[in-house]
């Protein structure tokens, strides 16, 4: 097994086209799965959730393959991040259709996600950082710690997926939930709603991280502009 792994690594170093790196092949499969998920988003929620969930799980596998086979690449990093961003944005578009009352909220989440990650990656490039998964802010550093990153990303995606599931199969009633001032007389809570509530803290942490990451990146970009003006 170790010999086969060594041969695979050697092949990657000898000039296997980057397009054919194993983690990038996994990335193509993820893109295809996301397209299938979107195709069935309004007609077959099981197929949609199955494909979307499988694509999300493969997100962890491509990183492992890149490290194990020594096939990390800039193209692969961009493919991975863009696939993540477009998948979440596409699901938010579907949710905006299913819950039109919250269309502005889902649009705001899409904008925050894109602003935050694009600005952060660009700022990291300006600073010539070896990876965009680093920061001077302790919350952002905590977020990019691998076990935390996996858990937060999974919880964030599950939050969206359970909102989607609630539109088609909310599940049986589990009981009544009463919240002072908000729901003083209580309201029935179903399985999907409970799952949404359980994932909500992770979702909030993810959005908080996006906001902090975005403004840190903006500061880096503005500092770069000011330095460039002084050097003219």
What phi, psi does 130 have (nearest 5°)?
A: -70, -25
Catalytic residue among 44, 84, 219, 225: 84
219 is catalytic: no
Give the count of alpha carbons within 13 A of 177, CB side only: 11
What phi, psi does 44 have (nearest 5°)?
A: -145, 95
The CA distance from 176 to 205, in Å, is: 27
Q: Are 188 and 173 in contact (CB under 8 A)?
A: yes
The CA distance from 201 to 189, in Å, is: 18
DSSP string covering 69-108? TT---HHHHHHHHHHHHHHHHHHHHHHHHHSGGGHHHHHH
The CA distance from 137 to 117, in Å, is: 15
What residues pair up with 175 in beta bridges, in sequence order?
189
Closest CA to 27 of 97, 98, 83: 83
Which residues are the active-site residues?
84
């Amino acid at each position: 097994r170790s010999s086969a792994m060594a041969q695979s690594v050697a092949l990657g170093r000898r000039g296997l086209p980057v397009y054919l790196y194993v983690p990038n092949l996994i990335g193509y499969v993820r893109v295809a799965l996301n397209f299938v998920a979107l195709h069935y988003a309004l007609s077959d929620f099981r197929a949609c959730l199955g494909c979307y969930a499988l694509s999300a799980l493969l997100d962890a596998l491509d990183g492992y393959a890149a490290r194990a086979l020594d096939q990390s690449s800039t193209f692969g990093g961009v493919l991975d991040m863009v696939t993540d961003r477009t998948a979440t944005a596409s699901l938010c578009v579907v949710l905006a259709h299913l819950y039109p009352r919250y269309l502005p909220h889902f649009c705001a989440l899409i904008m925050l996600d894109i602003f935050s990650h694009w600005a952060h990656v660009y700022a990291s490039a300006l600073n010539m950082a070896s990876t965009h998964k680093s920061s001077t802010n302790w919350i952002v550093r905590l977020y990019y710690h691998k076990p935390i990153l996996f858990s937060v990303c999974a919880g964030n995606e599950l939050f969206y997926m359970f909102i989607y599931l609630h539109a088609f199969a909310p599940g049986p009633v589990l009981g009544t939930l009463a919240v002072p001032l908000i729901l003083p007389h209580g309201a029935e809570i179903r399985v999907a709603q409970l799952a949404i509530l359980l994932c909500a803290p992770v979702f909030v942490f993810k959005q908080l991280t996006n906001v902090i990451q975005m403004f840190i990146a903006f500061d880096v970009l503005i500092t770069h502009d000011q330095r460039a003006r002084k050097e003219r």
